[in-house]
Amino acid sequence: MAIELKMPALSPTMEEGTLAKWLVKEGDTVQSGDLLAEIETDKATMEFEAVDEGVIAKILVAEGTDGVKVGTVIAMIASEDEDADAVKAPAAKAQQAPAKESASAAAAAPAAAASTPAATAAPVSADGERIKISPLARRLAAEQGLDVSKLTGTGPGGRIVKADLAGAASAAVAAPQVAATPATNAAPAAAATPFQTDIPHSAEKLSNMRKTIARRLTEAKQSIPHIYLTVDIQLDKLLKLRGDLNKALEPQGVKLSVNDLLIKALAKALVQVPNCNVSFAGDQLIRYARADISVAVSIPGGLITPIVADAGNKSISAIATEIKELAARAKDGKLQPHEYQGGTASLSNMGMFGITQFDAVINPPQAMIMAIGAGAQRPWIVDGALGIATVMSATGSFDHRAIDGADGAQLMQAFKNIIENPLGLVA
């Protein structure tokens, strides 16, 4: 009996993903453990392994297809002694809904059907001839409301491919909208309208990562009451310690950054002020027993926060080695979900760009994030006299539902004291 290969859930929160690349083709024999495809989630691209053995009979979802729901059948595997040519795609299963929801279900059905390439009818030109277009380009054109009869194909035999859709958004013809029945007491969503402007421009479809960033940051700013606390911190002792440690670690090939020391400083401060190492969870307050620091890393197309677990109990050299390796894999899209999901607090450093001070948005379900500005020489009182010191500004953003202002102030004070007396970082 043929085996249905379904879109996997590669993380606990994954609901859909992009089938970035097939690593097999129809007719290939696969064994358990063989790599089948690359799946792009909102944060990373992960390889999908075979569990069963057999022959790839049919590939049902083309590579490059995005928005593939978890559980969707993406391919069929013919089992041993089964004729691969005789395998058929599974029949679409009708969704059952209570009678009172039948109107909403009926309205939503066309949209659900459009999520798969096969659901979009093959387009025809004005003279009735079938337009040559790839399944992916056909679906994307339908989603963007593009009139494919006005596009010129650059694929084999004049076939319209995904690349031909770029730049055509400004000339899009709006697709008919399906009138959905709004839920009780819910405001109906505004109908999407094509963007129009006379200014020369290009239109770029949002990646899964950018969609997730937009959604999460909007939710964070709308639902979390932020409170911001800023302190100025003298860095001269920390910079001297870093220089001394780098000389000692040079034979090992380890080089510490200021950020590595700040990660440990934040972790130790959270241990000292446990009322800030928490999360707000409705009618519960979650108190963490260790400090796992999420570190903001800029990558092509967005931002990701790899986690240094139990940073307060790790050596600075171990933190430096770990964050370097995590950041490298983050930029390649190879992080595993447990390496960027979770954490008890975040640290975002924009000092390398010359930013002196900023307010960061909390990364839920965490309740605080530390924003680090650039260190610069400023007038400073040194031993009772006016002098020059290297000073940076650090701003903590706190979820005021979970953390009182006084507790946030204690954390900022502890963070400042640890950095200005940095020998405690190597104790």
Backbone φ and ψ for 306, nearest 5 degrees, come out as -60, 150
Angle (CA) 253-256-259 rounded to 5° is 150
In the residue annotation, 400 being an active-site residue is answered as yes
Which one from 201, 226, 338, 400 is the annotated catalytic residue? 400
Angle (CA) 232-236-237 rounded to 5° is 110
CB-CB contact of 214 with 206 (8 Å): yes
CB-CB contact of 402 with 333 (8 Å): no
Q: 27 — alpha (psi -120 to 50), left (phi > 0) or beta? A: left
**Dist CA 345 CA 293 (whole Å):** 5
Q: Which residue has the tokens 């989603």?
A: 143
H-helix or E-strand spanning residue 284: strand 284-287
CB-CB contact of 48 with 38 (8 Å): yes
For 380-388, the CB contacts below 8 A with 24+ separation are: 380/234
**Catalytic site positions:** 400
